[in-house]
Amino acid sequence: MKNEINFLSGQRADSEKKAKISRIAKIASFIVLITYFLIVGAVFSYWAFLNNQIEKTSSQITLKKDKIEDLKEIESLQVLLKQRLSSLNKFFRNDKRPNFVSFLSYFEDIPQGVKIKNFMAVNTGELTVSGESSNVVALGEFLDKFKEDGTNSLFSNVTLSTLDRQENGSYMFVIFLEAKDNV
Partner 1 sequence: MFNINLKENKIFLVPVVILFLILLASLTVLRPKISDIFKARRELNSNRRQLTILTEKLSTLEGLAGVELNEKVDDVLRVLPIEKDVAKNLFVLKRLALDSGLVFSGMNLSEVGEISTGAAKPKLVGGAILPSLAFDVLVIGTQDKIKNFLVNLKSVSPLMKVVQLSTTQRKENVPESTVLIESFYLPLPKTIGKLVVPITPISREEENVLVKISEFKIFKDEEEFYFATGIKGNPFSF
User: Could you give the string, one character per residue 98-117, with x where binding to partner 1 holds by CB under 8 A and - elsewhere?
Assistant: --xx-xxx--x------xxx
d(CA 17, CA 25): 12
In the list 51, 112, 153, 166, the residue contacting partner 1 (rule: CB under 8 A) is: 51
Tell me how far, at minimum, the Cβ of 37 lies from partner 1, in Å. Answer: 10
13 binds partner 1 (CB under 8 A): no
What is the spatial distance between Cα 180 and Cα 150, in angstroms, rounded to a whole number? 11
Interface with partner 1, residue 120, by CB under 8 A: yes
DSSP calls for 82-113: HHHHHHHHHHHHH-----HHHHHHHTTS--TT
34, 35, 43, 85, 172 from 47: Cα distances, Å: 20, 18, 6, 48, 93
Positions that interact with partner 1 (CB under 8 A)? 18, 21-22, 25-26, 28-30, 32-33, 36, 39-40, 43-44, 46-47, 50-51, 53-54, 57-58, 60-61, 64-65, 67-69, 71-92, 94-95, 97, 100-101, 103-105, 108, 115-123
